[in-house]
């Protein structure tokens, strides 16, 4: 009877242990499934973070490249601008020197003024060659030689009474050099 009770107790204990083992195995499987799920979530989050980090880095590189390109374009523009200014200075000096060679009694300031006016007049007429500006300069120098009067120009700003556009007028102290100006927008007499 004791042996039967012991066997019965062992069976109950074994059944209880088997039941607990099954419960623990179920809980372990559930925990492993949860762990697998959380690992996949962690991996997805790490991939997303890495992707966003790469995207931010790519944007940073693109911004730096654009900024470098902008700096390069500005530097190129500045170099071209200064080269153009230097060419203009050389051309003006050349015109003034040629005027002085043709009219030795003229002072350098007057020759430089004639060169500047001739250069601006040539550009205003659409000429781009130095020879055209020199031709205009020689005509101005001849006029100076004949009259010994060199015009002094002033610029004034007027507002058109017809359309309200702001116009810049260049006026000479020699009256016959001045001409009537009509507004290029509306045609109303401006000065």
Whether 6 is in a domain gets the answer no
What tokens appear for 109 in the block? 């300031």
The more confidently predicted of residues 156 and 67 is 67
Confidence of residue 38 (pLDDT cuts 50, 70, 90): very high
Q: How many CB atoms lie within 10 A of CB 67?
A: 10
In this predicted model, what pLDDT tens digit does every residue of 139-173 receive, in sequence order? 989 988 888 766 666 677 888 888 888 877 766 65
- Which residue matches tokens 């556009």? 165
Domain that holds residue 119: 62-150
- CA distance linking residue 93 with residue 112, whole number of Å: 7
- CA distance linking residue 119 with residue 90, whole number of Å: 12
The more confidently predicted of residues 81 and 186 is 81
Q: Which residues contact 182 (CB under 8 A, 6 or more apart)?
A: 188, 189, 190
- 12-28 mean pLDDT: 87
Global model pTM greater than 0.95: no
Whether 15 is in a domain gets the answer no
In this predicted model, what pLDDT tens digit does every residue of 78-119 receive, in sequence order? 999 999 999 999 999 999 999 999 988 888 888 998 898 899
* Choice among 2-6, 18-22, 142-146, 152-156 with the minimum mean pLDDT: 152-156
- The answer to whether the CB of 142 falls within 8 A of the CB of 111 is no
Does position 1 have pLDDT exceeding 70, yes or no? no
Residues 129 and 173 in one domain: no
Question: What is the reported pLDDT for 176?
Answer: 60
Question: What is the reported pLDDT for 80?
Answer: 95
Residues 68 and 105 in one domain: yes
- CA distance linking residue 143 with residue 121, whole number of Å: 15
Whether 44 is in a domain gets the answer no
Question: What is the reported pLDDT for 190?
Answer: 63
Residues 87 and 156 in one domain: no
Q: What is the DSSP string of 77-111?
A: HHHHHHHHHHHHHHHHHHHHHHHHHH-TTS-HHHH
H or E segment and range at residue 29: helix 2-102
Question: What is the reported pLDDT for 78?
Answer: 94
- Which residue matches tokens 């130095």? 130
Rounded to 5 degrees, φ, ψ at 156 are -130, 155
Whether 89 is in a domain gets the answer yes
Question: What is the reported pLDDT for 178?
Answer: 60
Question: What is the reported pLDDT for 54?
Answer: 94
**In the chain, % of residues over pLDDT 70:** 88
* Choice among 27-41, 71-85, 127-141 with the minimum mean pLDDT: 127-141
- Number of separate domains in the chain: 2
């Amino acid at each position: 009877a004791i042996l039967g009770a012991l066997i019965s107790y062992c069976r109950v204990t074994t059944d209880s242990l088997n039941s607990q083992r099954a419960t623990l195995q179920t809980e372990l499987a559930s925990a492993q499934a949860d762990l697998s799920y959380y690992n996949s979530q962690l991996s997805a989050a790490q991939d997303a973070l890495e992707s966003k980090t790469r995207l931010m880095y790519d944007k940073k590189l693109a911004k730096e490249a654009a900024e470098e390109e902008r700096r390069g374009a500005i530097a190129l523009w500045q170099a071209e601008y200064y080269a153009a200014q230097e060419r203009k200075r050389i051309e003006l000096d050349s015109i003034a020197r040629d005027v002085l060679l043709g009219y030795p009694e003229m002072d350098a300031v007057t020759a430089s003024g004639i060169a500047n006016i001739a250069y601006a007049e040539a550009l205003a007429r659409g000429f781009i060659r130095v020879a055209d500006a020199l031709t205009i300069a020689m005509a101005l120098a001849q006029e100076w030689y004949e009259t010994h009067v060199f015009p002094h120009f002033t610029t004034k700003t007027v507002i058109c009474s017809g359309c309200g556009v702001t116009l810049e007028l260049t006026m000479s102290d020699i009256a016959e050099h001045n001409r009537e100006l009509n507004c290029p927008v509306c045609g109303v007499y401006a000065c």
